[in-house]
Structures are given as C-alpha cells and as structure tokens.
Amino acid sequence: MQLDFRARELTLKFVYCGPSHAGKSTNLRVLHDRIAPLHRSKIITLDANDDGTLFLDLLPLSVKMGDVVVRLNLYTVPGKALLTATRRLVLQGVDGVVFVADSRSSETRSNAESFVDLKQNLRDSGRDIRTLPLVIQFNKRDAADARPDSELDALADRGSEPVLRAIASRGEGVSETFVALLDVVLRRLETAGELERTLHVDSTTALVSITDALGLPTDLQRACFGGGGSRHT
Ligand SMILES: Nc1nc2c(ncn2[C@@H]2O[C@H](COP(=O)(O)OP(=O)(O)OP(=O)(O)O)[C@@H](O)[C@H]2O)c(=O)[nH]1
Ligand SMILES: [Mg+2]
C-alpha cells in the first residue's frame, strides 16, 4: 500500500501470478474491456510475443472515494519458469495476489511448480504467502481435460482463501476473481486500521463503492468453489 497524503492518493498493487499460458494477460484484457474509460487507463504491456508475456502487463484503475483517489494497479508476471527474477521484481510491494491456475489435468504439475516459485519469490523479499491476501482462480474450465469440480471443491474447502472458476477467454469469472481479491485486501486493511485512517470507512462500504464505480458484480457465489473463503459464499 502506498499512501500519498498530500495528493490524497491511496495506491494498491495486485499481481496476477501462475504458470505460462494459464490466462493472466487474458484476465487483464477482459477487465480493461469491461471497465469504463473514466476509471482505467490503457494496458501497458512490456515485452510480449506470440508465446506470452516476457516482462509484465499493467492495468491501472482509479476510483474517487470522498476526497481520496484510490488507485488499483493490476500487474501480470510472465509465467515462463526461467523468468523468475522478473517475477520477483514485479512482486515487490504487492498487496494481493491472484494465482491463475490452469484447470487442465496436464498442467497440474506446472501449477504446483509456479506456486512454489511464487512462495519462494515472496520469501526472498521478506514476505510470507500465508499472510498475504490471496485468491486462486482455476481458469480454462472449458478445457476437455479440466479437473472435475468435486476435486476443486475439496481443495477450496481445505484452504482459507477464495477459489474461483473462470473461462477468461469468454470473460467468465474474471470480474468475480478481481472483486474477491479486492474484498480480501480491503478486509486486511480494515483489520490493520489502515482503512479507517485513509478512507474513513469500513471494508464493506469501500468494497461496494469501488465495485459500483467500476461496474463490477459483488455476488461471487456462483463463481466460487467450495463452501468457504469469502464472506460472499
Ligand atoms: N480454452 C481456453 N483458453 C484460454 C482461456 N483463457 C485464456 N485462454 C487462452 O490461453 C492462451 C494464453 O493466455 P494468456 O492470457 O496469454 O496467458 P498468460 O498466463 O498471460 O501467459 P504468460 O504471459 O506466458 O505467462 C491464449 O491463447 C488465451 O486466449 C480459457 O478460459 N479457456
Ligand atoms: Mg501473459
């Protein structure tokens, strides 16, 4: 979180992680197309080719709450295993992570490797994945060899973080995933007393104001696996 009292700006950094080709950049493109130009800038893509992202994508969002501008900077990291130094750089100062997993059974191992890499990168920067706001998205639910719902329901029930389903290429589950992370981040700021200090509101009021302004849904239930993890489930 960055707070600029003089400019009355609060900036939060969200990073989309996960294995190569899982659909991280697609998530950002869908949000870009869905959010009114007043509240978002163009996506900045640093270095990409047909085979994916090489450095990062950035989608800057902004919403005015009272006299404070809330900036939400959404980044993707490149999923390719070799680019771990780049991921570590992009993750610096992160406030919340969406882990975009690939639902295909064939990708179970690359999901696991990518998650281990994320944990290590955070640890190297003195952060701990267990205390960082985290949401997991199982994307590509349309794939022929997608892991069954029952398996992901069980996985969601074992953990405390929200687990959501998505078909990002069709725009499904993308808004819900972003809102789920925003919810977790706002609740964390509330617990730390930061929300009262900066925006003078509780997390529910902040969530509703921001999602209303961006035109995004707050009913996440349909997109969530399992029974827990979010106050919306
Ligand atoms: N079938 C299917 N394809 C998808 C879905 N989401 C994204 N894709 C496709 O998967 C490919 C990779 O998507 P990207 O968004 O570029 O993946 P990425 O995670 O940014 O990949 P890297 O930048 O290499 O880390 C593209 O061809 C997308 O159109 C989905 O839900 N279902
Ligand atoms: Mg990408």
pLDDT in tens, 184-193: 999 999 999 9
CA distance 29 to 48: 14
| More confident site: 120 or 230 | 120
| pLDDT above 70 (res 92) | yes
pLDDT score at 30: 98
Supply the residue whose CA is at minimum distance from atom 29 of ligand 1: 169
Q: Is 24 in the pocket of ligand 1 (CB under 6 A)?
A: yes
CA distance 133 to 223: 18
167 touches 142 (CB < 8 A): yes
> Which structure tokens are listed for 34?
């869905």
Per-residue pLDDT tens over the stretch 131-143:
999 999 999 999 9
Beta bridge partners of 166: none
| Residue in 28, 15, 83, 61 with CA at minimum distance from that of residue 210 | 61
Supply the residue whose CA is at minimum distance from atom 32 of ligand 1: 140
Q: Considering the entire predicted model, what is its pTM?
A: 0.96
Binned at pLDDT 50, 70 and 90, residue 7 comes out as confident
Query: Any idea how long the chain is?
Result: 233
Q: Is 79 in the pocket of ligand 1 (CB under 6 A)?
A: yes
Domains of the chain as residue ranges with CATH: 2-223 (3.40.50.300)
* Ligand with smallest separation from the Cα of 83: 1
> Which structure tokens are listed for 120?
């290590």
Q: Is 25 in the pocket of ligand 1 (CB under 6 A)?
A: yes
Instruction: Give the strand pairing for 96-102 and 9-17.
Output: parallel
Any idea which of 43-52, 172-181, 198-207 has the lowest mean pLDDT?
A: 43-52
Return the H-helix or E-strand segment holding 136. Answer: strand 134-139
Q: Is 93 in the pocket of ligand 1 (CB under 6 A)?
A: no
pLDDT score at 228: 52
